[in-house]
Structure 1
Amino acid sequence: MQTATSESHIKLLDCTLRDGGYVNDWKFGHNNAISMLERLVSANIDIIEIGFLDQRRPYDIERSIMPSTDCVEKIYGNVDKRNAMIVGMIDYGTCGIENLQPCKDSYLDGIRVIFKKHIMHEAIAFCKQVKDLGYKVFTQAVSITSYSDEELLELMSLVNELEPYAVSMVDTYGLLHKGNLMHYFSLMDQHLKPEIGLGYHSHNNFQLAYANCIEVLKYKTDRTIVVDGTLYGMGKSAGNAPIELLGMHLNEEYGKEYDVNQMLEAIDGNIMKIYKETPWGYNMFFYVAASNHCHPNYVKFLMDKHTLSIKSVNEILEWIEPEKKLLYDQSHIEELYLKYQAKECDDTLDRAALKTVIAGKKVLLLGPGTTMKSHAKEIQDYYQKQQPVVIAINHLPEVCPVDYVFLSNPRRYIRLINALKSQNHHGVKVIATSNVTNAEDAFDYTVNNEKLLDKDAVVIDYSFVMLLRLLKDLEPEQVVCAGADGYATTGANYADEEMEYWFTSRKADVLNQYVRDALQQMASELDVSFLTPSYYVEKN
């Protein structure tokens, strides 16, 4: 049994009903929430956080996010909390002091206040008001990795003056490894008054939440140590340290007596049905955010474009200004995305070469829509009669021989690498936009991406419109489109279901109208017709 930290000084805190609420918008259901709280109390959890206090949200007995402390009583008041300390959380600025009743009249024993470093002074002043109401106060330093040593010492000075129950370092984006984790932890321990507890709230972006908690528990100190966890790791982003693992570890190594079976019953009866509907935990998305030390919303913004490879996403994230890394700024990431997509290259020679094979010719443009299958005979008949130059957009169909594939989407290119090497498509030449990075040899033709972008459009890099803009300058006799179906609000939009985007049905009308407008603008310079049915031609 380990003795680095006295068993009596270790406190295990469960925050499933609060941090877990990011998964389901705090809608656990009243019966479910009560059941979970009763199980956690029976499991002998020392501190249980039962949700957020947020005056912006109306009272809802089915949710663990409440506008005031008197609502806590309405939801949980019939549960015997026995020896457990019951706490709620306030994100500073979202719940005024007027919404907190005195602790003696409240079901809550304590309140945890989270805040970012730039408002530490105001937040600590608010914590003083909360403490004056009789609550045990926990100061929660959000995004601990954003603090310099000097800034952390400044916070410790404020905390020492406040004398809260505990101060916690919050690894909001799961960035900590053992070295920097223990640097922060020991620095705080050295400069805090001994009666103030020291806590750690982890996230699992690097699969280190549980391991980091073990390191914190090993740390030699006489002060109270508070370690956070959630049932089955349920929580924001990649999730938290699983409290059932922490309970098991503390029982085995520190002589604690947490009833892990009660935790497992709560997981089985209350958590797994939520997990099956909306899973959480370590995945590539949160790894990318953590490895770039940035807010996950930046990654979401870029990946939701569905035009970028992970390599491209990483390259854009590297451009984020350091002070904006952990404070999401959508206008900033939009600027960086446009900058990346506008990669310039001198395409004079490639354009001239393309013009020699396109000018004055009929071009059959093959999109990836479902009509590539349903109208295959019409496409084949047209090809046999007209012998056009065939250009496919971000895919390689089998319906007829393809002369060129137009690549503007790095993610689509990844799927096409092997196909381009196959015997079936031997001789197909690649026309790539400058934002697509070739895997091996140089592309046959590379055109400047920026010249083809529509910077004022809903989708600035719409492949079909980009290719039409390029063709306009290459002066073909006529462009005939097949498989350029546009988007339906229901059903499949692609001949290959693996190409489907989840968002197209929701944005179908906007996307279709955008292309109609683009076609109208180019009508005097480019003769475009449709061989197969398309929403780009008329509303169906």
Structure 2
Amino acid sequence: MKQVKLLDCTLRDGGYVNDWEFGHDNIVTIFERLISAGVDILEVGFLDDRRSFDRNRTIMPTTQCADQIFGKLDKGNTMIVAMIDYGTCDISNLSPCSDSYIDGIRVIFKKHVMHEAIQFCHEVKKLGYKVFAQAVSITSYSDRELLDLVDLVNDLEPYAMSLVDTYGLLHQDNLLHYFQLLNYNLKPSIAIGYHSHNNFQLAYSNSMEVLREPADRTVLVDATLYGMGKSAGNLPIELISMYMNTVFGRNFNVSQMLEAIDISIMPFFRKSPWGYNLFFYISASNNCHPNYVRFLMDKHTLSLKSINTILDAIEPEKKLLYDKDYIETLYRRYQSTECNDEADIQALSASWSDRPLLLLGPGKNLELEKEAILSYIKAHNPITISVNFIPEGIPIDYAFLSNSRRYVQLNNRLLEHADAQGRPVRVIATSNVTNVKDTHFDYTLNYNSLIDQNAEIIDNSFVMLLNVLTKTSIHHAACAGFDGYTVDGDNYYNSAMDYRIAREKSQSINQYVIDTLERLAGTLTLEFLTDSKYVK
């Protein structure tokens, strides 16, 4: 006979948002509210022997530590479970179930270690715990591989086997396909669980489908308060409990859940919000690990079209196993469009030989010291070159574009600026930037010849332009608006240009530019018209 059950994993999966530091009072409040709400299974956190015990956190090295936090709380009729990511908690850290407050252990594991993980599950079961076999990244399994896992699980006979949609990739058809494979092949005594993520905003609808699907066994779904969890978040327990009350005659007390959300969850949401957004949509739509998307977006040199092109090039077996060196290689390969720029270098050299140069960066001091810059332009009549932006109220002759994302943003501004000045702005683009009008830029320079392959950020736009100057035999230039970076992110005259990686790495980026200027000192002299962290 089919039973439907509800498992709350707020204190475990929600912990990715706050490094599991809910605070002891919040931990107790969340626990007691969920017990009062009548959830069937409550997951109280991770068991991870790499972490020290902290009563304010729900990531604990041993079952005895969990006893210290929860042991005096009344669990009523709810099953209490904890999770182990296989390989992060030795079996010696688990007391026998008869001596523990915890009733069950959920073991998550990736496909390539499923044999070792199931063997670990056997050891956990011998200690008396109800065991849950959690197959993460279920979309990485072929049917044959999943059936091989089912054979191992049938031999184990755990309490449940769960489909874990780690990156929120499942749509209804393939979700039900996986569910049916398990339903037809697992022993009837083994429950089927479903753990969803909300990258495609399908956690709620998919969970309803799983609960509705015919099955002569227990079916359980995971959820968290307000959907709290990493990436796009999880299934909101307050939604699915209402559905289960209405359709399956359950009697969950939703008011208790709402109280826990109001008092204990919303402060975390306001500080570090979770939920559907473009970042997690991109990772899900490309069936890939979200860290690949984070890596490429943090470059702040790529349009979304370019990011999708790179993600599409990831080999299938690499999609869900993040490899930083691998995605760095793909990024460099994509950016390294080769071109013969000898003629354009010569043309720029000739054009720049008879007037001084003024380089313009997008720092706040460009606006703060605009009058002094305009006075310099009036007195010296320089050739002005802006870097990946168009300044307000300052005439420019050239725009140097090395960043395809900035170029997409600036395309209309380039046309408007030309109209306002009554003359065209000549565009110098590096070969990784593609013209939106499918025509040639005024000058196209070889990206590979301008980057620094050994730098932490290989394509610093200011350094790339300095390399252009040395190639064109320029020995002196004035600079304005190259302020350098600060931790607080107050780096640009236009706040929309700010990006996280520049704040996080501000000190190392500043030092890299300082070192570059020292290296070029005998070849190129720069005069800074505005304050800059690049000048000691």
Fold conserved between structures, TM > 0.5: yes
Other-structure match for 2:366: 372
User: 128, 133, 146: which one pairs with 1:134?
Assistant: 128
1:167 & 1:488 partners in 2: Cα distance?
49
How much has 1:424 moved relative to structure 2? 2.3
How much has 1:460 moved relative to structure 2? 0.6
User: 510, 513, 523: which one pairs with 2:511?
Assistant: 513
Please, which moves more after superposition, 343-352 or 81-90?
343-352
2:34 & 2:150 partners in 1: Cα distance?
32
Paired residues of 2:489 and 2:498 also in contact (CA < 8 A): no
1:506 & 1:428 partners in 2: Cα distance?
34
Matched, 1:502 2:500: yes
Please, which moves more after superposition, 483-492 or 167-176?
483-492
User: 465, 468, 484: which one pairs with 1:467?
Assistant: 465
Q: Which amino acid aligns with 2:252?
A: Y
Other-structure match for 1:10: 4
Alignment of 1:28-177 (within 5 A): 28-177=22-171
SS at 2:107 equivalent: strand
Paired residues of 1:342 and 1:453 also in contact (CA < 8 A): no
Other-structure match for 2:420: 424
Distance 1:480 1:240, change over 3 A: same
2:249 & 2:368 partners in 1: Cα distance?
69
2:501 & 2:346 partners in 1: Cα distance?
37
How much has 1:467 moved relative to structure 2? 0.7
2:122 & 2:490 partners in 1: Cα distance?
58
Paired residues of 1:358 and 1:475 also in contact (CA < 8 A): no
Matched, 1:267 2:257: no
How much has 1:357 moved relative to structure 2? 1.4
Other-structure match for 2:307: 313
2:242 & 2:526 partners in 1: Cα distance?
68
1:272 & 1:153 partners in 2: Cα distance?
41
How much has 1:491 moved relative to structure 2? 7.0
Paired residues of 2:298 and 2:500 also in contact (CA < 8 A): no
Distance 1:490 1:109, change over 3 A: closer
Alignment of 1:222-237 (within 5 A): 222-237=216-231
Identity, % of aligned pairs? Answer: 59
How much has 1:25 moved relative to structure 2? 0.6
Other-structure match for 1:186: 180
Distance 1:43 1:490, change over 3 A: closer
Paired residues of 1:28 and 1:64 also in contact (CA < 8 A): yes
2:201 & 2:143 partners in 1: Cα distance?
25
Please, which moves more after superposition, 135-144 or 68-77?
68-77
Other-structure match for 1:276: 270
Other-structure match for 1:439: 436
1:348 & 1:214 partners in 2: Cα distance?
63
Distance 1:534 1:326, change over 3 A: same
1:196 & 1:437 partners in 2: Cα distance?
55
Q: Which amino acid aligns with 1:213?
A: S
How much has 1:302 moved relative to structure 2? 1.4
1:246 & 1:501 partners in 2: Cα distance?
37
2:130 & 2:49 partners in 1: Cα distance?
20
Q: Deviations over 1:159-208 (max 9, x none)?
A: 00000011001000000001111111101111111111111100001111
SS at 2:505 equivalent: helix
Paired residues of 1:370 and 1:483 also in contact (CA < 8 A): yes
User: 468, 491, 494: which one pairs with 1:493?
Assistant: 491
Q: Deviations over 1:33-57 (max 9, x none)?
A: 1111111111111111111111111
Paired residues of 1:368 and 1:495 also in contact (CA < 8 A): yes
SS at 1:495 equivalent: coil
How much has 1:110 moved relative to structure 2? 0.6
Paired residues of 1:404 and 1:431 also in contact (CA < 8 A): yes
User: 376, 382, 395: which one pairs with 2:376?
Assistant: 382
1:211 & 1:306 partners in 2: Cα distance?
34
Q: How many matched pairs?
A: 532
1:536 & 1:77 partners in 2: Cα distance?
57
Distance 1:24 1:509, change over 3 A: closer
Deviation >6 Å, runs of 4+: none
Other-structure match for 1:478: 476
Gaps of 5+ in 2: none
Paired residues of 1:15 and 1:229 also in contact (CA < 8 A): yes
How much has 1:299 moved relative to structure 2? 1.1
1:488 & 1:218 partners in 2: Cα distance?
54
Q: Deviations over 1:460-509 (max 9, x none)?
A: 10101101111222233632111122234557322222222334344333
Q: Deviations over 1:347-377 (max 9, x none)?
A: 3343333333123432111111222123222
Please, which moves more after superposition, 408-417 or 148-157?
408-417
Other-structure match for 2:403: 409
2:100 & 2:489 partners in 1: Cα distance?
53
Paired residues of 2:197 and 2:203 also in contact (CA < 8 A): yes
TM-score, normalisation: structure 1? 0.95
1:488 & 1:53 partners in 2: Cα distance?
38
How much has 1:319 moved relative to structure 2? 1.9
The Cα RMSD (Å) is 1.6
Alignment of 1:232-271 (within 5 A): 232-271=226-265
2:297 & 2:135 partners in 1: Cα distance?
29
Other-structure match for 1:449: 447
Paired residues of 1:43 and 1:262 also in contact (CA < 8 A): yes
How much has 1:441 moved relative to structure 2? 4.7
Paired residues of 1:173 and 1:290 also in contact (CA < 8 A): yes
Q: Which amino acid aligns with 1:531?
A: L
Distance 1:183 1:406, change over 3 A: same
Distance 1:89 1:488, change over 3 A: closer
TM-score, normalisation: structure 2? 0.96
SS at 1:204 equivalent: coil
SS at 1:304 equivalent: helix
Paired residues of 1:171 and 1:201 also in contact (CA < 8 A): yes
Q: Which amino acid aligns with 1:141?
A: A
